[in-house]
Structure 1
Amino acid sequence: MTSDDRLSYRRRKIGQALRRYREERNLTQDAAARLVERSPATLSAYENGHRAVRPRDLRQILDHYGITDARERARLLDLAAQGRKDGWWLGYQERTDPFIVDYASLEGDASRIRSFETQLIPGLLQTEEYTKAVFSAYDSVRPDSRKGGAASFRMARQRILVDAPPRVKWIIGEMALRAPVGGREVLKRQLRKVLNVTTAPHLSLQVLPLNVGAHPGLDGPFSIPDIGTDGSTSVVAVHSLVRSWFIDEATSIGYYERAYEALSFTALTETESRNLIEEIVFGL
């Protein structure tokens, strides 16, 4: 992945918007290119997310298309500005999953992150030894030449909790607190870290108990970062064994947000959650 290939989510969102504006005006790409004073190839690259657009150029295109909605303009210009920033994650582009690098860049610009995890402690809360135990569990089924940078990358992601902290809320399934990933002592140290880190006022944690039965998170873990200075852009990140992807259709995001609210309502309170974790640590 080259520097021009990074932050593809932001470029894709801007490109989708530019294509929609053009089509709403019944313009061909050639006609639109003449209107916005760009070559057809450049406009096509913007619309397909293959090329980053500078905020100054994007502002001119929005002017030519007659986009006056202040909130929409601010959202797109914010995405364009973020996409041109160099971040710590760039050094990992050749060593770990490109999706995770892209996701980390979104984390770094998030004002709020909502995370639901069923079987594992969330990555932003993991100890390094716990992380390595998780990755090693896949050695026999998914050898990956980029694995060497994965653990250090996950540890580096945790800096956002201190350096430029967004508000983060985690809902964790009780099974994640009891599964002896890495062994009993590794789990004990991991749970102590969870307790220590989540004392910060901008962080919160709830536990979904085992006895809750059916719930709207049965399909598995997901996270919802709200991107931008005002959190005007939300996206859902979903991971599976073979691929990860972003969901950004408004109706689908709404479904996940409602599911998250229902999970939060069903889960233990923050105080009850901490008490449960302390009980588990004491029993290890």
Structure 2
Amino acid sequence: MLPRRALGRQLRKMRLREGITQSGAARVAEVSPQSYGRLEDGRQTKVTDLAMNALCNAFSSTDEERSIVLDLAQVIRKSAKFDGGWWLSQRVSVSNSFSDFVTLEESATHVFSWETCLVPGLLQTREYRRALLWAEFPEMPSHQVESTLDVVARRQQLLNKADFHFEGLIAESVLTTAIGGPAVLADQLSHLLEVSHRPNVTMRVVSRRANDQVGVVTGPFVLFDLPPMPTSRLRQAPVVYMEGHFGRIYLEDESDVAEYARVRERIRRTAYSEEDSGALVLAALKELNNE
């Protein structure tokens, strides 16, 4: 989980600065060396404010460093409650590797999604998503398909949150890629028109003739903007997510995230306005209905 890794990095930085061994830090926290090692590695282990304060004392942390550590510990404990929550109760449908994504999605104040081939997940209809599942997993049992679709529907409830904003930019070709056939695509385009009128949803289309095709080069990605830490109000760094050949990738390095933030701005500049994007979706829908 991302906050665990952030806490591990912070503790390791302070410990090394003071020249304290992991065994020494374990004695301070009153845990086994193995448990402390898991803590710095960002793996699952118990995180208490008592232990974090003791470590901060031993590491001569500044007030700001202590606030960061305690805030991360609070986020981790809150996420631990999520670990028994709705998406991991759907264990067949939500893999462990995807739980980080759902945690980020639930925590974010703003989600930017760039898609070159598909409608973003939070804007997909049930039948559109069903067609994608059948295409990717033709042997998936029907009960698992339905369970996965239920998870998607549950995720989409985020669009009802007033303090959550979703910004989806899609390549123009998405409007004519008949996932599930013309009828499914027509229903999906109608849904895009409907959901794009929500005040917390931005849906824009990028022309295939745009002068800057940086989005084609980078491929699809999601950028999560996270709220400030709960107590100190310090800013949490954004996180980038993408799916690659070797699986799901999360980028947390400041320079990497900054590069994708620049790409986001370039894609935004090439996109049609919301009004013109809606007109394009409507035109594609009319063409489908006339076929």
Q: Give the 5 Å matches for 1:22-171.
A: 22-56=15-49, 57-65=51-59, 66-69=61-64, 72-73=68-69, 75-86=71-82, 87-139=85-137, 148=145, 149-163=147-161, 165-171=163-169
Which residue in 1 is equivalent to 2:262?
258
> CA contact under 8 A between 2:92 and 2:144: conserved in structure 1?
no
Q: Are the structure 2 counterparts of residues 97 and 38 from structure 1 closer, same or farther at C-alpha, using a change threshold of 3 Å?
A: closer
The residue type equivalent to 2:52 in the other structure is L
Deviates more, 1:50-59 or 1:248-257: 50-59
> CA contact under 8 A between 1:114 and 1:223: conserved in structure 2?
yes
Residues in 1 aligned to 2:56 and 2:191: alpha-carbon distance in whole angstroms: 47
Q: CA deviation at 1:171?
A: 0.9
Q: CA deviation at 1:183?
A: 0.9
Residues in 2 aligned to 1:114 and 1:59: alpha-carbon distance in whole angstroms: 36
> CA contact under 8 A between 2:169 and 2:204: conserved in structure 1?
yes
The unaligned stretches of length 5 or more in structure 1 are: 1-7
> CA contact under 8 A between 2:134 and 2:140: conserved in structure 1?
no
After superposition, the C-alpha distances for 1:84-107 in whole angstroms (9 at most, x for unaligned) are 223311212233332222211221
1:249 equivalenced with 2:253 (yes/no): yes
> CA contact under 8 A between 1:173 and 1:208: conserved in structure 2?
yes
Q: Give the 5 Å matches for 1:194-205.
A: 194-205=192-203
Q: CA deviation at 1:161?
A: 1.1
Which residue in 2 is equivalent to 1:282?
286
Residues in 2 aligned to 1:144 and 1:236: alpha-carbon distance in whole angstroms: 29
Q: Give the 5 Å matches for 1:164-179.
A: 165-179=163-177
> CA contact under 8 A between 1:110 and 1:226: conserved in structure 2?
yes
Count of aligned pairs: 275
The unaligned stretches of length 5 or more in structure 2 are: 230-234
> CA contact under 8 A between 2:107 and 2:226: conserved in structure 1?
yes
Deviates more, 1:143-152 or 1:180-189: 143-152
After superposition, the C-alpha distances for 1:178-230 in whole angstroms (9 at most, x for unaligned) are 10111111111101111111211111111111111552222311001123446
Q: CA RMSD in A?
A: 2.4
Residues in 2 aligned to 1:112 and 1:277: alpha-carbon distance in whole angstroms: 23
The residue type equivalent to 1:42 in the other structure is S
Which residue in 2 is equivalent to 1:273?
277
Q: Are the structure 2 counterparts of residues 55 and 199 from structure 1 closer, same or farther at C-alpha, using a change threshold of 3 Å?
A: farther
> CA contact under 8 A between 1:110 and 1:229: conserved in structure 2?
no
Residues in 1 aligned to 2:56 and 2:92: alpha-carbon distance in whole angstroms: 35
Of 234, 241, 245, the residue aligned with 1:237 is: 241
TM-score (norm 2): 0.85
Residues in 2 aligned to 1:60 and 1:195: alpha-carbon distance in whole angstroms: 54
Residues in 2 aligned to 1:278 and 1:95: alpha-carbon distance in whole angstroms: 33
